[in-house]
Amino acid sequence: MTSKTATKILSRTELPCLQETCSHLISFCNSKSLRQGVCIHSPIIKLGFQDHLYLNNNLLSLYSKCFTLDYARQFFDEMPSRDVVSWTGILSAYVKHEKHEEALGMFQEMMGSGPCPNEFTLSSVLRACSALGEFSDGKCIHGCVIKHGFESNQILGSVLIDLYSKYGSIEEACRLFSCVENGDVVSWTTMISSLVQAGKWSQALRIYIDMIKAGVYPNEFTFVKVLAAAGFLGLKHGKVVHAHLIVFGVELNLVVKTALVHMYSKCQRMDDAVRISKLTPESDRFLWTAILSGLAQNLKLREAVVAFQEMEASGILSNNFTYLSILNACSLILSLDLGRQIHARVIMAGLEDDIPVGNALVDMYMKCSHEVEDGLRVFEGIESPDVISWTSLIAGLSEHGFHQDSFDSYMEMTASGLQPNSVTLSIILRSCRAAKSASQLLKLHGHVIKTNADHDIVVSNALVDAYAGNERVDDAWHLIRNMSQRDALTYTGLATRLNQMGHHEMALHVISHMFNDDIKMDGYSMAGFLSSSAGLNSVETGMQLHSYSVKSGLGSSISVSNGLVSFYGKCGLTHDAERAFAEISEPDIVSWNGLISVLASYGHISSALSAFDDMRLTGVKPDSVTFLLVLFTCTHCGLVDMGLEYFNSMKEMHGIEPQLDHYVCLFDLLGRAGRLEEAMEILETMPIRPNASIYKTLLAACKVHRIVPLGEDIASRGLKLDPSDPAFNLMLANLYDSSGRPDLAATIRRSVRDKGSSLPQRSWSSHPELV
């Protein structure tokens, strides 16, 4: 439409209808384009309607939708008169363009000199408060809502519910919802959404049922929220909601389909989740990300990798959430090669500056790589590390054994102004426990008290664990007595550390303290007490615990069942161990490993290897622990070739990278059989750097077979790795003794006595090549 065309239309219109025609033309332009709107604005001025408030409000709406806010604000400022519609129009424009501070400023100006706000004005400014996190301003505007009698308004009710729930005032949100008269689907859905976000899933479902009883039909957005609640409550609820979705005839679009995938994933029904995703051909990155995330969370890690490859093959580009899911899968399956490939794709996608993706990369490298500098390099590339970045670094350093450096990193993080969360504190306290560093533990405890973090039960439990792990049991008990809140994990952690120290009887005394606190045992605590009974070889106590587990409903717990297999096995009751295993309805990998360990430990070699085959037939995939047990079995019954086959199948058939412990078993297997040349060939080609245990295993084999030259070479390698470890010289001396060279043995032992031994603290900061 041109200016001439608009003028012609208006010139043929009778005066009484002229203003209405102008309004219709502006509305037409609103839905088309700015250029056409400007064409109608010019004739309006020519016809002398520039002072007409109704038309100006329409033009303001036009400029707000089709032009920049600056032009809309200029037009607003030039309006000769304004009413509540004018003010609401400019306020709404600021909010839609996410200029929330400007919107609040306009509202204050309006309240100072303009007309009284209506429900639409208040709705816009409340949305601005919510977006800015200005809860105090929001409460003031809530006062305006009450003052003007809008508290029962549906629109304002929904916005206020969202505002209060966002800031944790869920009770006030519920009260506001009860004040809304004849709530529509938006207000009901907002209330359900608020309850879901607050973790009140059962209450959210009750509101959903009330909604249906009130005759308000849910829409797709309602079902997205209700499905989220059902995912946390279990499969039974999820299926009911899914059935309702079909009954109400809600279209299975991508949003609903993605919500269903999330729900079934949370309920550990990935087959159903994948089936739902394929019911219609449409897919997008959000649906694929939901599938990837579900597969990773349900530990279907190989399937997650395959799904990622399928997504890329379909031409759908990954986003940051997709990469987070697949990097999480890489971390769990310890796949460094795939992780590096994903890292390259992250860089190609321009997401290397995304902090959550960077955090996932730090976590992946720290878990998958044997070299800490890989994770350090990524961390140093994060421009503004957040608390999760630092936590990933601290956890990685701790896992690699660099406990002093993890503590230094923690101190650097706090010095930068970032406050640790409960996860960070739990990890650094675990590092103190592993390092047996009482001084660092005391410093951290002081920091925890100073920041009031000791009121968090997660942190308090970590403190108890750290003190017990440092063999300061009295301090651990003192902490427990002074805790304002205790749970099963409080006592389970203490019992676990007491078991590790061999204080099994003391660990069993923990039971009475739990009962005094009226804390019921869970599956993990029961498993710990069964371990105590096994450590004492107390069959009677273990059987009493077994009886209690059945009476208290813990018999179906997989942790308890696995604990019973281990208990009976360690007590030498192999038939009872097998019976306990047979009663497990769905044995997991821990169950199978427990059975294989029991059978192998008592010389039932054929049964142990048969159990390994049975496990694979049932669809349970072996893990690295399984192969350690199988290699141990082969080693102690001389099945060298079979052991080699199992070792080679780890990576070839099962995608499991052999770790140092597996190589120690392999070298023990070959060494006992005298196949040391073969062992040395593997040593020279293994993809990871040998550790002291490998050299000691080979050196022990050289002593058995009296191979002096090779033993000297291996001892030399071991001493280069750790010159302070006297074991290599002492083992070499034993080799000389067994080979008829007592003179050389005496010389070496004298040298060890003269030098003494000291083990330096391990620190990556002392190695420039790692920094």
Q: Answer whether residue 23 is part of any domain.
A: no
**Better-scored residue on pLDDT, 594 or 160:** 594
In whole angstroms, give the CA distance from residue 364 to residue 341: 12
- Is residue 153 within 8 A of residue 134, CB to CB? The reply is no
* Close Cβ partners of 492 (under 8 Å, ≥ 6 residues apart): 522, 524, 525, 528
- Is residue 144 within 8 A of residue 126, CB to CB? The reply is no
User: Which pLDDT score is estimated for 10?
Assistant: 46
464 token code pair: 């108890």
Task: State pLDDT tens for residues 684-718.
Answer: 999 999 999 999 999 999 999 999 999 999 999 99
* Close Cβ partners of 253 (under 8 Å, ≥ 6 residues apart): 220, 282
Decide if pLDDT at 1 tops 70: no
User: Which pLDDT score is estimated for 187?
Assistant: 86
- Is residue 348 within 8 A of residue 337, CB to CB? The reply is no
Half-sphere exposure of 330 (CA within 13 A, CB side): 26
**Better-scored residue on pLDDT, 74 or 506:** 506
Burial class (CB in 10 A: 0-12, 13-18, 19+), 458: middle
In whole angstroms, give the CA distance from residue 542 to residue 560: 11
Single residue among 485, 503, 523 that ends a domain in this structure? 485
Task: State pLDDT tens for residues 47-89.
Answer: 455 556 767 777 777 767 765 677 777 777 778 777 888 778 8
User: Which pLDDT score is estimated for 356?
Assistant: 92
Q: Please count the structural domains in the chain.
A: 2
**φ, ψ dihedrals at 277, nearest 5°:** -65, -20
Percent pLDDT > 70 in the chain is: 89
Question: How sure is the predictor about 352, in pLDDT bands with cuts at 50, 70 and 90?
Answer: confident
What secondary structure letter does DSSP report for 763?
-
Mean pLDDT of 318-323: 84
**Better-scored residue on pLDDT, 3 or 409:** 409
Q: Is 650 helix (H, G, I), strand (E, B) or coil?
A: helix
Question: How sure is the predictor about 111, in pLDDT bands with cuts at 50, 70 and 90?
Answer: confident
User: Which pLDDT score is estimated for 757?
Assistant: 45
Q: Answer whether residue 424 is part of any domain.
A: yes
User: Which pLDDT score is estimated for 164?
Assistant: 74
* Residue (of 582, 480, 584, 574) closest to 523 by Cα position: 584
Does the CA dihedral 748-754-758-764 come out positive or negative? Answer: negative
- Is residue 378 within 8 A of residue 345, CB to CB? The reply is no
**Cβ atoms within 10 Å of 296's Cβ, excluding its own:** 26
**Better-scored residue on pLDDT, 414 or 114:** 414
**Domain of 746?**
689-771
User: Which pLDDT score is estimated for 20?
Assistant: 54
In whole angstroms, give the CA distance from residue 363 to residue 327: 9
User: Which pLDDT score is estimated for 618?
Assistant: 92
Task: State pLDDT tens for residues 656-693.
Answer: 889 999 999 999 999 999 999 999 999 999 999 999 99
Mean pLDDT of 201-222: 92
Question: What single string gives the DSSP state of each residue in 199-265?
Answer: T-HHHHHHHHHHHHHTTPPP-HHHHHHHHHHHHHH-HHHHHHHHHHHHHTT----HHHHHHHHHHHH
Mean pLDDT of 452-472: 90
User: Which pLDDT score is estimated for 51?
Assistant: 58
In whole angstroms, give the CA distance from residue 664 to residue 225: 52
Decide if pLDDT at 21 tops 70: no
Q: Is 142 helix (H, G, I), strand (E, B) or coil?
A: helix
Decide if pLDDT at 552 tops 80: yes
| Burial per residue of 415-433, b for 16 or more beta-carbon CB atoms within 10 angstroms, e otherwise | eeebebeebbbbbbbbbbb
Question: How sure is the predictor about 654, in pLDDT bands with cuts at 50, 70 and 90?
Answer: confident
Does the CA dihedral 547-553-559-565 come out positive or negative? Answer: positive
Q: Which of 12-26, 522-536, 545-559 has the lowest mean pLDDT?
A: 12-26
**φ, ψ dihedrals at 118, nearest 5°:** -105, -175
Question: How sure is the predictor about 2, in pLDDT bands with cuts at 50, 70 and 90?
Answer: very low
Q: Answer whether residue 37 is part of any domain.
A: no
Q: Answer whether residue 734 is part of any domain.
A: yes
Task: State pLDDT tens for residues 616-625.
Answer: 999 899 999 9
**φ, ψ dihedrals at 639, nearest 5°:** -85, 75
User: Which pLDDT score is estimated for 769?
Assistant: 34
User: Which pLDDT score is estimated for 246?
Assistant: 92
Q: Answer whether residue 125 is part of any domain.
A: no
Single residue among 424, 453, 485 that ends a domain in this structure? 485
User: Which pLDDT score is estimated for 68?
Assistant: 66
Q: Answer whether residue 393 is part of any domain.
A: no
Single residue among 485, 509, 527 that ends a domain in this structure? 485
Question: How sure is the predictor about 353, in pLDDT bands with cuts at 50, 70 and 90?
Answer: confident
Half-sphere exposure of 252 (CA within 13 A, CB side): 16
Q: Answer whether residue 114 is part of any domain.
A: no
Mean pLDDT of 481-506: 90
Decide if pLDDT at 431 tops 80: yes
* Residue (of 219, 216, 244) closest to 230 by Cα position: 244
Q: Answer whether residue 194 is part of any domain.
A: no
Decide if pLDDT at 13 tops 60: no
Question: How sure is the predictor about 36, in pLDDT bands with cuts at 50, 70 and 90?
Answer: low
In whole angstroms, give the CA distance from residue 195 to residue 202: 9
Q: How far is residue 123 from each of residues 66, 91, 275, measured CA to CA in Å?
A: 22, 10, 41
Decide if pLDDT at 627 tops 80: yes
**φ, ψ dihedrals at 353, nearest 5°:** -90, 0
Q: What is the mean pLDDT of the chain?
A: 84
Percent pLDDT > 90 in the chain is: 45
